[in-house]
Structure 1
Amino acid sequence: MTTEVRFTHQSLVESCKKGHSGSQYELFELYVDAMYNVSMRFLGTKEDAEDVVQDSFVDAFKNLKSFKYESSFGAWLKRIVINKSINHLRAKRIAVVPMDAHEFHLTNEEPVEVVDAVDIKKVQLGIAQLPTGYKQIINLYLIEGYDHVEIGEILGIATATSKSQYHRAKKKLVEIIKEL
Structure 2
Amino acid sequence: MTEEAILLGCLKNQPAAQQELYSKYSPKMLAVCYRFARNREDAEDMLQEGFIRVFTQIHQFQSKGSFEGWIRRIIVHTCINHLKKHKKFNDSVDISQAHTIQVREDSVPSIIQAKQVVECIRMLPIGYRTVLNLFAIDGYTHREIAQMLDIEESTSRSQYTRAKAMLEQILVQKKIIIRPQRQDEWVAAAHVRF
The CA distance in 2 between the partners of 1:99 and 1:44, in whole Å, is 16
Q: Which residue of 2 aligns with 1:114?
A: none
* Deviation of 1:68 (Å): 1.4
Q: Would you say 1:152 and 2:146 are equivalent positions?
A: yes
Q: Would you say 1:137 and 2:131 are equivalent positions?
A: yes
Q: Which residue of 2 aligns with 1:51?
A: 45
Q: Which residue of 2 aligns with 1:14?
A: 8
The CA distance in 2 between the partners of 1:34 and 1:124, in whole Å, is 14
User: 1:97·1:134 contact (CA, 8 Å) conserved in 2?
Assistant: no
User: 1:86·1:96 contact (CA, 8 Å) conserved in 2?
Assistant: no
TM-score (norm 2): 0.71
User: 1:97·1:165 contact (CA, 8 Å) conserved in 2?
Assistant: no
* Deviation of 1:32 (Å): 0.5
Q: Which residue of 1 aligns with 2:181?
A: none
Letter in 2 for 1:119: I
User: 1:96·1:136 contact (CA, 8 Å) conserved in 2?
Assistant: no
The residue correspondences of 1:77-116 to structure 2 (distance < 5 A) are 77-96=71-90, 98=92
Q: Would you say 1:71 and 2:65 are equivalent positions?
A: yes
* Deviation of 1:30 (Å): 0.8
Query: C-alpha deviations, 1:8-63, integer Å up to 9, x for none?
Result: 31332122112221111111111000110100110031112112211211221112
Q: Would you say 1:124 and 2:118 are equivalent positions?
A: yes
TM-score (norm 1): 0.76
The CA distance in 1 between the partners of 2:18 and 2:116, in whole Å, is 38
Letter in 1 for 2:82: H
Gaps of 5+ in 2: 95-110, 175-194
Percentage identity across aligned positions? 36
Instruction: Say what the alpha-carbon RMSD is for the aligned residues.
Output: 2.5
* SS of equivalent residue, structure 1 residue 63: helix
Q: 2:158 is matched with which residue: 121, 144, 164?
A: 164
Q: Would you say 1:178 and 2:172 are equivalent positions?
A: yes
Number of matched residues?
158
Q: 1:32 is matched with which residue: 17, 21, 26?
A: 26
Query: C-alpha deviations, 1:50-103, integer Å up to 9, x for none?
Result: 122112112211121122122322112111211221222222222357497xxx
Gaps of 5+ in 1: 101-117
* Deviation of 1:171 (Å): 1.1
